[in-house]
Every structure is written in C-alpha cells, then in structure tokens.
Structure 1
Amino acid sequence: MSKVVGININKDPIDEASVWITRLDRGLSNQELRELKTWLQDSPTNTETFMQLVELWDKMESLSQLSELFPRKLQNVSSKKAPVLAWAASFIFASLISLGLWFNADLFLGSNATQIVQFNNEYETKIGEQSTISLQDKTQIKLNTNSLVKVTYTDKQRVFELIRGEMHVVVAHNKQKPLSVYAGSNIIQAVGTAFNVELAADEVELIVTDGKVLVTDINSQNVAPLKLKNVYLPPKSFAVSKGQKAQLKASNTNIIGSDEVKLASDLAWQQGNLVFRGESLFEAMQEVARYTNYQFDFGDEEIKHLQIAGLFKTSDISGFLAALESNFDVIFEKLSDNKIRLNKKPQSN
C-alpha cells in the first residue's frame, strides 16, 4: 500500500471567501452571519477579496444581510449578468468546491497565471515498499522503493514531479493534455506512452518501454510549469524511443543502451525482482541497499570486485545474503540493528 499524502494548502482569503459566497447563495444562519462579519473585520484583505468574488459571481443582491457593512458598495455596483447566468455560475462554483477542486487564486486576482489546478496529490513508498496508483484519467504509476512523486493535473497539462526514487508511468493518451515528468534538471514529456524514470544523485535514467518521449532541460523554460502558456515541448527536443535507455545529465543527454535483456534486468523491480548479470558485488550491494534499512560495508576490499549473477527477490534480503555465502563464498556479519559487514569466506584446512 502506498502512503498517500494530501497536499496541505494553507487557507488564504480567496479560499475562505469562496466558501462564504456559496453559503450566501443558500442563505446564512444567524450564527454564520456573525462568523462572516467577524471574518470580514479581521482583515482589510478579507473584505477586498470577498467583494472581488461577490462582483465576479454577481452576488451583490445576496449581501442584503450585510448592508450595514457595505452601504456604498451596494449602492454603486449594479448587476452585470442575467439572473440565470448568475445562478449557473454559483452552482458550478459550489459543485467544484464540493468535489474538492480548487482554483489558482492568481486567476481570480488578475495575475498572469494561465492554468487552473484541477487535482494534486503526493504518492510515497517507504524503503522496501512498492505501490501501483491508478489516476482519474487511467494513467498508471508504479512506484519503486523509497520513492516520492507529486502529481498535478491542470486544465492544460499533467505534471509529475519526481522528488526521489523511481517510477514507471503508463500514460493515458491525451493530445490536449501532455504529461510532463520533472526529474532532476530534466523534463520528460509524452502524450500516450510508457516509460521508466530513476532519479539518482547526479543523473536521471530513462527507459522508454512504449512509444516515444521528448526530453529537454528545465532551464529551457522561463516560467514555472503552472504559469506556462504553451505547455508542449518543442518538436525538435531530444527524443527517446521504445527500447532505448538514456542517461540524462545537466550537461548532456545520451542514449546509452538498447539491449533487450539488459533493459529487462533494469525493469525487473516491477515484478519484485533484482537481476544481476555480472555486476560487481559493490554495485549489487548498492542496489540491494535501496530495498532495506541495512547499510553494507566490506571487511575485504578484494570481494568488492566479485562478479554477481542471478535473480533475487527484493523482499528477501536474507535469501540474497544466503545465496552469496553458498554461491560466491561471501559471508555476512550483523554488526548492529542496521549494519552488515561482508567478508570473504575463510578457506577450510
């Protein structure tokens, strides 16, 4: 199971004003009336924001209960929309709030935001945990161990921010809303493909398992993702196609492999497996460490270079250590609750 962490959006005047407008539309109780007056008097910003939304949604008539607070505004502002349109706007607004959707405040307050956020959430796995998430548009994410991704859907695009770890994404086809993964210093964009992204310390590893994706550097965009007017990457961006593996670095992006067997090994984690095909013991233990809280060190520098081959379960680290002893003459010693030392097995006399 994944740990789903809802985005903690701090209340601001526009959020609270929006709620008060929907209450005004159905009528305020005496208690609500007192609470609204108190909220309006708490801050000039509250009052200003409230009046902006009142005018936007043509709710001046609903302020009759608060006429003592807005005498001049009520006299000076006339209705600009037909009653039916005003009712429809209020109904849509209330429905969106009831569904848990929220609008970018900049849109109401006249900033240069160009997108409306329709959904956002964070999905996380712990060390040793894997999880599959199905989103509302049928896009699927499979998160590997110790991974965190932030997902934001707007009216123009789908934005995935990989904060740490690794994920495989099967993208639901939608030409009108491209899906962009922000990982490290890179943007990976698709409209209906499947690909694997792993975020390492100084690079991003990309494997395309279906279709084609475009890649560019984040610095090629001059504004934040949700401020973009054109959400599509240029067609001449670096392309990675099905069956290709790319190494994405800040300085350059290169195709580094297309061997089907090797790529299958890299993606074996999706079936809960670790596959080694001649990697050094040092490299293998670095990979194993991703799936456990144990730290590994080496009592003998020589064994770091032993070549390891085989298939192991990510959930069975004890079995992996037992296989090292029986097949590669490497023994282990538990030094503490989270530290294990590897040594070469002593030769028997």
Structure 2
Amino acid sequence: MNAAKQRLALRDAAHWHARLGAAPGCSKTQGQWQAWHQQDALHQWAWQRLQNFQAELQGLSGPLARHTLAAGEPRLDRRTVLKGLLLGIGSAGIAWSGYRQMPVWMADLRTRTGERRNLTLEDGTQIALNTASAVDIRYDAGQRLIILRAGEIWVQTAKDSRPLRVRSAQGEMRALGTRFSARQYDGHTQLDVFEHAVAVRNAPLATEVIVQAGHRLDFGTGPLPQPRPTTQDQAEWRNGRLVIDDWSLEHALGELQRYRPGFIQCAPEIAGLRVSGAFPLDDTDRALAAISQALPVRIETRTRFWVRVLPRG
C-alpha cells in the first residue's frame, strides 16, 4: 500500500470526522460519508485508524488501539499514521484531546522527565537532549535544521558546507562552527555559547546578533537584547550535575523539578535562601537531602510525587 495514498486517506478521514461532528444527525452528511467509506478499501482502513487513534487519545481500548495502530503496512509506521491524521485534523479546524501537544510527542527525538540522551547525527554533529525535551531533524541538500520543540539541547557542530541552524518558537540560531546549548521556555529562548559564536535572528527582517563564546542571549519576539556572560557550568547537565552558584532556593528547586515527576513545593518564607553547590540529577532525592543539610530546611515527602521543603523546626 502506497504511503502517500495512505496519508491522503487519513487526511480525508479526519475531514469526514469533522463534518460528521459539526452536523450530528444530518442524513445527507451521513449518506455522503457512507458513500466515501464504501468507495475504497483504503478509505475503510483510514477510518478505522482514525477511530483507533481517537480511542487511544481518550484512554479507551488502549491495548486494542495500540495493536491496531502498530499493525499497518511496514513502510508506514505509527508516527506517520498519527501525522497523517493530525494533518487532517489541523486543516479541518478541530482540536482533539492532546492535539496541542502534537509537536512534542510527535517529534523525531525526545526524552522523558529525568532522561537525557546523547546522539550523533548523520553529518557527525553531536547533540544531547536534556530532560523532557523534543526536537525534529530536517536535513536535506541545502540545510541542516534542528527544530527545538520543547526542553533543552546541547549541540557541537560538525564541519559541513551546509549551514546548521536551531529553530525555537522565538527565532533561529545559526551556528558559526561552535558548541552551544538552547533552551525553550514559555515565551522566550535561552542560548548559551561555549565555543566560537552563534548568530541569532528572531524575525525575517531583523538584524542578526552575534553571540560570542562565554555569553548568553535570552530572546523573545521583540528587539534582541545584548548578550550577557555565561559559564560552562550551564551545560553540566550533560554530566548529570546541576551546578548552582548563589541561587535562590526557589530557583534551585524549580530546576530540580525538571528532572523528577510530581511536584516540589517550597514554603514562601524560605524561598529566598541562597544556595550553591553541585547536585546530582539522576538522584534528586539525594540532591534534596544535600540541600536540607546545607540550609535550615527540612524535606517532607508525602508521596514520591509530592515533596514539600519547609523551615527546619
């Protein structure tokens, strides 16, 4: 079965789903859908995939849905099936549960909370994904593009005639033979350059800002600010360490929160305490214990997913 035809059928199925939902009980629409459904076995295949996908998103018939979604033609894997469906959903203007998160859980490469990954791309470029991160890779004859969907990545570029760019929600970072990290926040991007330089542009007509090694640029969609100093410690997460230099306790706990499921709550009266040190990211319980020894605070663990940091005594 041709993969392009399958994606087209999936898109049409999503359109029919939207039409049926917009006109429940309309006999004319029902009849038109029925004619489409019976016209081709491929249409029936696509409609079944759509139904299974919707059931999976809603938490219904999980094992059956997963089995059916995975059981298509070998050339059309599960992620391609979902992309075909979501293309149709987007063009039909409807939003199912979970649709907003499509760029993250549909990404080419991603990590779970607490997971980190090191990879070498086809050109020799090395990348690392921090906790809860997602990227898409777009390499072709004219470009090397990494799209940062969520979280944080570290990049060490390989020599190649094609430019290498990292695109975030706020703009693009063009590597100038370099080693750097980029982190996607809500509303802004943080770039840290550790070697050589990176050119940043956040609008088609905006002037590029060159960020040299040892500097950071936090940018949104407005005018680009001036870079400010940074340190190599910002990439120590690659080595499993969170290096802190005179941070507020609230800030430190917020960073540790990224590496563990659940919730860390900090009492307001101790949020401003200052903390420094290097803390393990692969054992956040040990990191919290170390903080409790360094500061006048205590750790209250109600469950693995709910931790409170309170004044000692």
Q: TM-score, length-normalised on structure 1?
A: 0.58
CA distance in 1, matches of 2:143, 2:176: 10
- CA–CA distance in 2 between the matches of 1:15 and 1:342? 50
1:238 aligns with 2:206: no
Paired with 1:342 and 1:198, the residues of 2 have a C-alpha distance of 27
Output the amino acid matched with 1:320: A
Matched, 1:344 2:311: yes
AA aligned to 1:311 is A
Q: State the shift of 1:13 in Å.
A: 4.1
Runs (5+) with no aligned partner, structure 1: 1-9, 17-40, 44-96, 98-120, 222-233
Partner in structure 2 of residue 174 of structure 1: 160
Aligned to 2:241: 273
Establish whether residue 125 from structure 1 lines up as the match of residue 96 from structure 2. no
Tell me the residue number matched to 1:149. 135
Deviations 1:232-281 (A, max 9, x none): xx9x521111111111111132234225xxx1222211211011111111
Match of 1:192 among 177, 184, 190: 177
Find the residue that maps to 2:260 and give its secondary structure: coil
Cα contact 1:153–1:159 (8 A) shared by 2 = yes
Q: Deviations over 1:148-190 (max 9, x none)?
A: 0000111100111100000011111223x11111111211112
Equivalent residue letter for 2:182: V
Q: CA RMSD in A?
A: 2.6
What residue in structure 2 maps to residue 302 of structure 1? 269
| C-alpha contact 1:274 1:313 (8 A) present in aligned 2 | yes
Compared with structure 1, are the counterparts of its residues 344 and 158 closer, same or farther at alpha carbon in structure 2 (3 Å cutoff)? same
- Conserved? CA contact 1:174–1:191, under 8 Å: no
Alignment CA distance shift 1:302-1:192 (3 Å) = same
1:128·1:292 contact (CA, 8 Å) conserved in 2? yes
Equivalent residue for 2:204?
220
2:145 pairs with one of 123, 137, 159:
159
Task: Using the TM superposition, give the Cα deviation of residue 141 of structure 1 relative to its aligned residue in structure 2, in angstroms.
Answer: 0.6
Judged with a 3 Å threshold, the aligned counterparts in structure 2 of structure 1 residues 183 and 15 are, in CA distance, closer, same or farther, namely closer
Equivalent residue letter for 2:204: S
Match of 1:205 in 2: 190
Give 1:253's aligned residue. Answer: 224
SS of the counterpart of 2:160?
Answer: coil
Which of 244, 248, 258 is equivalent to 1:290? 258
Superposition deviation, residue 191 in structure 1? 5.0
Which residue is 1:319 aligned to? Answer: 286
Structure 2 segments unaligned to the other structure (5+ residues):
9-38, 42-74, 76-106
Q: Deviations over 1:129-151 (max 9, x none)?
A: 11111011101111111110000
Partner of 1:255: helix, strand, or coil?
A: coil
Give, in whole Å, the separation in 2 of the partners of 1:339 and 1:241: 41
Between Structure 1 and Structure 2, how many residues are aligned?
219
Q: Say if 1:171 and 1:192, in contact at 8 Å, map to a contact too.
A: yes
- What is residue 51 of structure 1 aligned with on the other side? none
2:301 to 319, 334, 343: 334
Distance change >3 Å, CA 344–CA 171, structure 1 → 2: same
CA distance in 2: counterparts of 1:42 and 1:282, whole angstroms: 59
* Of 120, 123, 126, the match for 1:137: 123
Deviation per CA, 1:86-123, whole angstroms, max 9, x where unpaired? xxxxxxxxxxx9xxxxxxxxxxxxxxxxxxxxxxx711
Is the 2:176–2:196 Cα contact (8 Å) retained in structure 1? Answer: no
When Rg is computed on C-alpha atoms for both structures, the one with the higher figure is 1
Flag the 1:256–1:330 CA change in 2: closer, same or farther, 3 A.
farther
- CA distance, structure 2, for counterparts of residue 278 and residue 190 of structure 1: 31
Q: TM-score, normalised by structure 2?
A: 0.65
Query: After the TM superposition, which residues 23-172 of structure 1 pair with which residues of structure 2 at under 5 Å, given as runs?
Result: 122-172=108-158
Structure 1 CA distance, aligned partners of 2:7 and 2:133? 31
The residue identity in structure 2 corresponding to 1:140 is Q
